[in-house]
């Protein structure tokens, strides 16, 4: 046996794969921002990590949802995960409310999260402004539920878009605080945020200073399930500037955003794109971006429709995922119950 090669004698000797956890709220039709910032990077991890991807329906109700829509969006999100290439044989896919340990750990972590910390969260401030008539306690404590999601699975890495950076940092602070009191209970997770040109922050087509968001209506958000026609129309209307040169430059937020989208879907870098559209106007460029997006999404949409016609299959994936997730989550929750002093554990 060569000395520097680790030989596994039993299964427990095989080094465990690092763990990935991430989630998306079933709060509307997914945008290409969700796809590029989150799902696309999740797929890359399937082989080398133990991946757990969740549909965070409990997070979604921090904003008022129509029950029938929430239910439909949950099935749709699972079908999109699958259609995008998240193979349930290679990762765990489940719905947050199917695993009660998330709510149970969230309550405990609430007691280790400071009012001041939660008050500084920009997502809370943004969503309070957007939902001024419903600034509920769940919207405020949302980050400790997110910390519970991640810490329950002892996740090493959490792939998210740029807007979630602050929540990941708070999850790390909560984990460190808890570990500081009780010893090493939680793995302190790292965030994985793609570069901006790789899709970490796709901006709205109607207001390129604002993040593209699935809960926004209007032409600013391009949906994964939009028809080819809708996609082309939205890109045609995209807000740009009064210049006419396709160039990645400060002050050209609209064009920069379109270049990032084009780069993500074609794999071309900014310099190549600038050369490709040298001497051509914005009109040509917008049409080309719309076309690559529509072409890339077409097979995914077809697979989505096929999966949505088979509810039984979607439910079996959810059920299996919840079983695996519950088993993993129970281990951490039990440890936490013991540490904080709950009797009879």
- Residue 271 CB, shortest distance to ligand ATP, in Å, is 23
Residue 41 touching ligand ATP (CB under 6 A): no
Distances in whole angstroms, Cα of residue 41 to Cα of each of 25, 30, 202: 17, 15, 14
- Determine the residue with CB nearest ligand ATP: 37
Residue 321 touching ligand ATP (CB under 6 A): no
Active site (annotated) includes residue 127? yes
Q: How many residues does the chain have?
A: 345
- Residue 289 CB, shortest distance to ligand ATP, in Å, is 16
Which one from 187, 201, 211, 286 is the annotated catalytic residue? 211
Return the residue of 143, 161, 191, 220 that touches ligand ATP, per CB under 6 A.
161
Residue 95 touching ligand ATP (CB under 6 A): no
Q: How far is the C-alpha of 319 from the C-alpha of 281, rounded, in Å?
A: 51
Q: Quick one: residue 28, left, alpha or beta (phi over 0 = left, psi -120 to 50 = alpha)?
A: left
Residue 211 touching ligand ATP (CB under 6 A): yes
Piece of the chain touching ligand ATP by CB under 6 A; list 157-165, 175-183, 270-278, 286-294: 157-165
Q: Residue 202 corresponds to which tokens in the numbers above? A: 């796709």
213 binds, among ligand LTN, ligand ATP, none (CB under 5 to 8 A by kind): ligand ATP
- Residue 125 CB, shortest distance to ligand ATP, in Å, is 13
191 binds, among ligand ATP, ligand LTN, none (CB under 5 to 8 A by kind): none
Which one from 187, 201, 214, 234 is the annotated catalytic residue? 214
Active site (annotated) includes residue 214? yes
Helix (H) or strand (E) holding 13: none
Piece of the chain touching ligand ATP by CB under 6 A; list 65-73, 98-106, 213-221, 310-318: 213-221
Residues of this chain that interact with ligand LTN (CB under 6 A) are: 21-23, 25, 56, 59, 146, 149-150, 158, 160, 164, 167
Q: How far is the C-alpha of 37 from the C-alpha of 168, rounded, in Å?
A: 15
> Starting at the edge strand that comes first in sequence, how are the strands of the sheet with 190-192 ordered?
91-95, 50-55, 19-24, 157-159, 190-192
Helix and strand numbers (H, E) in the chain are 14, 5
Q: Which is nearer to ligand LTN, 76 or 149 (CB)?
A: 149
Piece of the chain touching ligand ATP by CB under 6 A; list 29-37, 75-83, 84-92, 179-187: 29-37
Query: 137-152 and 122-130 are packed helices; what angle lies between their axes, rounded to 10 degrees?
Result: 140
Q: How far is the C-alpha of 104 from the C-alpha of 94, rounded, in Å?
A: 17
146 binds, among ligand ATP, ligand LTN, none (CB under 5 to 8 A by kind): ligand LTN
Sign, CA torsion 274/275/281/287: negative
Active site (annotated) includes residue 210? no
Q: Which is nearest to 174 in space by CA: 131, 113, 116?
A: 113
Q: Which is nearer to ligand ATP, 27 or 154 (CB)?
A: 27
Q: Which is nearer to ligand LTN, 191 or 220 (CB)?
A: 191
3-state secondary structure of 94: strand
Return the residue of 73, 187, 214, 234 that touches ligand ATP, per CB under 6 A.
214
Other Cβ atoms closer than 10 A to 66 = 9
Return the active site residues: 127, 211, 214
């Amino acid at each position: 046996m060569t000395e520097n090669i680790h030989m596994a004698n039993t299964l427990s000797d095989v080094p465990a794969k690092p763990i990935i956890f991430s989630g998306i709220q079933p709060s509307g039709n997914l945008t290409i921002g969700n796809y590029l910032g989150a799902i696309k990077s999740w797929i890359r991890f399937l082989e080398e990590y133990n991946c757990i991807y969740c549909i965070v329906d409990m997070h979604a109700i921090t904003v008022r949802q129509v029950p029938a829509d929430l239910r439909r969006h949950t099935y749709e999100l699972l079908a999109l995960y699958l259609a995008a290439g998240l193979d349930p044989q290679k990762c765990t896919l489940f719905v947050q409310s199917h695993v009660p340990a998330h709510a149970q750990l969230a309550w405990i972590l609430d007691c280790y999260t400071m009012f001041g910390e939660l008050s500084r969260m920009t997502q809370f401030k943004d969503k309070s402004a957007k939902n001024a008539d419903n600034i509920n306690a769940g919207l405020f404590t949302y980050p400790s539920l997110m910390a519970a999601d991640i810490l329950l699975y002892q996740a090493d890495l959490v792939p998210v878009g740029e807007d979630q950076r602050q929540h990941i940092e708070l999850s790390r602070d909560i984990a460190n605080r808890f570990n500081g009191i009780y010893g090493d209970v939680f793995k302190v997770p790292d965030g994985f945020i793609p570069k901006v040109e790789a899709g970490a922050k796709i901006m709205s087509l109607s207001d390129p200073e604002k993040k593209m968001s699935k809960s926004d209506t209007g032409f600013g958000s391009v949906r994964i399930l939009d028809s080819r026609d809708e996609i082309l129309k939205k890109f045609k209307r995209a807000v740009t500037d009064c210049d006419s040169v396709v160039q990645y430059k400060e002050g050209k937020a609209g064009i920069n955003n379109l270049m990032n989208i084009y780069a993500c879907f074609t794999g071309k870098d900014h310099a190549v794109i600038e050369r490709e559209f040298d001497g051509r106007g914005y009109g040509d460029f917008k049409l080309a971006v719309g076309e690559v997006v529509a072409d890339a999404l077409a097979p995914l949409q077809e697979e989505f429709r096929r999966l949505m016609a088979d509810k039984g299959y979607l439910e079996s994936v959810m059920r299996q995922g919840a079983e695996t997730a519950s088993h993993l989550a129970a281990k951490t929750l039990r440890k936490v119950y013991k540490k904080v002093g709950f009797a009879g554990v």
